[in-house]
Structure 1
Amino acid sequence: MQVAVVLYPGFTALDVVGPYEVLGRLPDVEVVFVAERTGLVRNDLGSLLIEAMATLDDVTSPDVVLIGGGPGQSAQMSDGPLHRWLRDVDRTSAWTTSVCSGALILAAAGLLTGRRATTHWAALDMLTEFGVTPSRDRVVIDGHYATAAGVSAGIDMALTLAGLISGDDVAQTVQLIIEYAPEPPYHSGSVDSAPATVRKSAIEILTA
């Protein structure tokens, strides 16, 4: 099984690395990082580069497609090579997936029209512009589309997908191997639980 993880300048690292850690540990799975051109691709914070080992044209029929979000997502909303590739591979993929604002790219490519999907809380309402029904669930499965909410939710989505692909026992084994048992010291991980001052600060940063 081949998993194609899409990179573009300004991606958020955990959006793609979290799912990579999960899906890359499934039996008989090959993960390939793809981009319009091969080479190093810089993340949104500017200090991490991941190498795309294959171009979009090199990967024509992946079983799973995953695209993350990040500030660079805004430059990927116009129809072009990436959108065409997403539509092409979606015809044969078992799963087409996104993390965070990567869902907006799938939506702009026309893949989520008429479906339920989720994305980062700050971008959730934007899904309606593309005929998508937004959901505040952390992971949404609709047909062969799996979307995750913001950043860290990609790990939850990947574990969900791992269970659907390889079975619950395998998925739980991977969860134990990566020791995914979150116990954050704060309760500000969602809009509903975060204090008003924290919400205000986050919005100011995200809209700067």
Structure 2
Amino acid sequence: MLAQFVLFDGFDPLDVIAPYEVLHSAGMLTEGAVQVELVSAEGPRDVPSGLPPLSLKATALLDPERADVIVLPGAAGDVRDPAELSEDEQANAIPAILGRTLETDLPRLAKEALEREDTLVATVCGGSLILAMAGLTEGRPATTHHLGLDVLGATGTIAVDARVVDDGDLITGGGVTSGLDVGLYVLEREVGPRVAHKVEKLFEHERRGTVWSRRGAAPALAF
């Protein structure tokens, strides 16, 4: 299984590194059955994160034909209300950083990935907002950082306040630390619970919350 982790200018490093290390560790425990690589929509390049001067190196092109799993992170930037920021500060606001990804080839490649039957797309934090702003999650359940749930719902996406949401070929995670839970859940679902359990013990991390999906009975009461 090949997992590609997408980098874009202003990405949140923890959104990438947490699930990357989970799946990388799974590769060591399975003698290479799980492989990971850092990619971008432009191909190999040094990609600046939203926490300068930290950057990561994309070693390949985002390629839905090659990847079994594509992991899309959110952004790191100013979390204040953009209305409260100066014009210069607004360029570093998270909505602006995420919005600039729509000017790249990333939305087209993400759309291609979601249309492929054999490719799983997973997001962490604001990664789901990139898909939503590109019109790729309308009518589908998804989650994101709690500060972005209203924005997610405004795109026609079914915003779910959960740690991880499983909608088949799309798995979305909440805030930044949910990257660990997303990585472990992807590992459990795609490789198996025994390997996922071993990595979970290795990381000394206990996953939080129920993974939400459309399966099962719907609750009769809303609160």
Kept in 2: contact 1:86–1:109 (CA 8 A): no
Total equivalences in the alignment: 180
Aligned to 2:134: 109
SS at match of 1:25: helix
1:46 matched to which residue of 2?
A: 52
- Identify which of 79, 86, 107 aligns with 2:110: 86
Segments ≥4 residues shifted beyond 2 Å: 58-61, 89-94, 108-111
Write the distance in 1 (CA, Å) between the matches of 2:167 and 2:72.
16
Give distance in 1, aligned partners of 2:9 and 2:150: 24
Q: In the alignment, is residue 132 of structure 1 matched against residue 157 of structure 2? A: yes
Q: Which amino acid is the alignment partner of residue 30 of structure 1?
A: Q
Unaligned runs of 5+ in 1: 183-208
* Matching residue's letter, 1:4: Q
Q: What do the CA deviations read for 1:178-203 (whole angstroms, capped 9, x no partner)?
A: 22249xxxxxxxxxxxxxxxxxxxxx
Counterpart CA distance in 2 for 1:59 and 1:98 is 15
Partner of 2:25: helix, strand, or coil? coil
Instruction: Tell me, in whole angstroms, the C-alpha distance in 1 between the residues paired with 2:177 and 2:125.
Output: 9
Structure-1-length-normalised TM-score = 0.80
Shift of residue 144, structure 1, vs aligned partner: 1.4
Give ranges in structure 2 of 5+ residues lacking alignment.
76-93, 208-223
Could you tell me the percent identity over the aligned residues? 36
Q: CA RMSD in A?
A: 1.7
Separation in structure 1 between the aligned mates of residue 59 and residue 9 of structure 2, nearest angstrom: 15
Secondary structure at 1:10 match in 2: coil
Tell me what 1:151 maps to.
176
CA distance in 2 between partners of 1:181 and 1:141 (Å): 19
